[in-house]
Chains A and B, each alone.
Chain A
């Protein structure tokens, strides 16, 4: 078995260098566009962690986006640095996810999906009701951020961490055990895997990633209300991006977030709302024709070609 890193060093380094340079050299429009894409990347990886790896399909991870956003907004209003506020938001979301996971992850299949849908609505209702802390449906206004650069770099770090973390996870025993839960939870348990603990950890890390994105975006937009904190549209966005690229894969969410993110950003300006219909149609087509997602389908195609090559050269494939 080859234990090579999934990253080739130089292409990766060049890509990161270009991304770091964007806010300093590119136009404001390109920077803002890339910033949105980075947020989508983080969200898609966050969703992928729980739903792609353990198979617990969540239609309500956006709940944690709002938790991160509100924590950041409330703390920033009280005078705290926005980055520290976002980080605290991540911690709070992670802990909250552990507690909620104890309940929610006992629900199976469609019940979990619907339950998470309800949870996001519950969070929005609570945010609207706690007027003293959240200012209710009026929302919280923050002083506008003067420069895109810190926000951009924060999202870039988050997105990179999510990608690298997933690549490591995918090769780890921990990752294998999450996949085992997705494939057959009862069999995983019969092999000694404490499935509850594993699911809760995945759920919690997913919540942290999504909450951090929520915190940073709240600072960027410098406003939050229950509608902007828990948008159902954003939940559709993370689901479709991860599923398009390939749920439970390392590169799928990246492919999905960049492709569909650009489509969303282009359409959004001229046809707000219509892009959600288009997203829905794309998700339909993906589920019907390539339910594994683009990345696994492509790599299978390439592998088949590669295998044919190997046979032609008269070599046997590497066998452990």
Chain B
């Protein structure tokens, strides 16, 4: 396993009486594409919020690039190179596509910024829509825009929350290509939450399985798909898997 870029150690989080994350520990290797899967409500999005500083853990530590970043504010995490998307797309609706991208980053001249924005838009296939108002885009294109926007930060770690959900297989393919490309060219690390198993199995080198706020299993996609505990947690029983898998494909 390569040097970890992100280490989550014994993280706990309660909301009132709900024990959302219960002593969660895992590592994400630098320059890998790691999947984070698990049934709805198992704490995946909460985990993202804990890593990016939206929530502060009750206990435990988040270590990023060798530095303890537990409880740092979201804007600080972003400036350190941790970018994210949201499960429910959050683009700046009344601004143009290009303006959405030009709000960041911080350490470049406006010329460089625009050049990079144009490159990123071309990569995700939104170049034609640069001057369109973000709120007028289709659902799929809004997802692409939010996906594109994270790369404006020149991130080292990108957390993607269900960016493949509800869009066409062709768009999914394009997003996967972009992810692979940014990893290969720029060494970006990805942590990907999704329910589309075909994508996770194809894209990721490593898969983390969460259940009830804990890491249940970790391994290569092939191992994970054979792991009985995972199948049980995820699907209730083995026989259900085929049906669901077909359904997802």
Contacts and interface: CB of A to CB of B under 8 A. Distances in A.
A and B touch in the complex (CB under 8 A): yes
Interface of A: 1, 173, 176-177, 179-180, 183-184, 186-195, 248, 317-320
B110 to A, nearest CB: 6
B78 A183 contact: no
Q: Which of B94, B149, B152 has the most CB of A within 10 A?
A: B94
A192 B128 CA distance: 27
Contacts of B54: 186, 190
B102 A173 contact: yes
Given A183-B94, A189-B74, A176 B103 contact: yes
A190 B78 contact: yes
A190 B83 contact: yes
14 contacts: A176-B99, A179-B92, A180-B92, A184-B91, A187-B92, A190-B83, A191-B78, A192-B75, A192-B76, A192-B106, A193-B104, A194-B75, A320-B98, A320-B127
B95 A180 contact: yes
B121 interface: yes
Q: Nearest 4 A-B pairs (CB), nearest first? A: A192-B78, A183-B92, A187-B90, A320-B130
A16 to B, nearest CB: 28
A177 B102 CA distance: 9
Nearest to A191: B104
Interface of B: 52, 54, 73-76, 78-79, 83-84, 86, 90-95, 98-99, 102-106, 110, 113-114, 118, 121, 127-128, 130-131, 149, 152-153
B134 to A, nearest CB: 9
Contacts of B94: 179, 183, 248
B116 to A, nearest CB: 12
Nearest to B121: A320
Given A179-B95, A192-B78, A186 B90 contact: yes
B95 A183 contact: yes
B92 A190 contact: no
Nearest to B97: A320
Contact of B103 (A177, A186, A317): A177
A205 to B, nearest CB: 19
Contacts of B98: 1, 320
Contacts of A177: 103
Q: Which of A184, A186, A191 has the most CB of B within 10 A?
A: A191
Nearest to A248: B94
A194 B83 CA distance: 15
A173 B110 contact: yes
Given A1-B98, A191-B149, A319-B128, 4 more contacts: A187-B86, A192-B79, A318-B131, A319-B127
Given A183-B93, A194-B75, A319-B127, A188 B103 contact: yes
A173 B127 CA distance: 20
A183 to B, nearest CB: 4
Given A180-B95, A192-B106, A319 B130 contact: yes
A191 B99 CA distance: 13
B153 A192 contact: yes
Given A176-B95, A183-B93, A183-B94, A190 B103 contact: no
Given A179-B94, A184-B90, A319 B131 contact: yes
Contacts of A190: 52, 54, 74-75, 78, 83-84, 86
A191 B149 CA distance: 8
Nearest to A174: B103
B101 to A, nearest CB: 10
Nearest to A198: B75
Contacts of A194: 75
A248 B102 CA distance: 18
Given A176-B99, A183-B93, A191-B149, A320 B75 contact: no
A190 B52 CA distance: 8
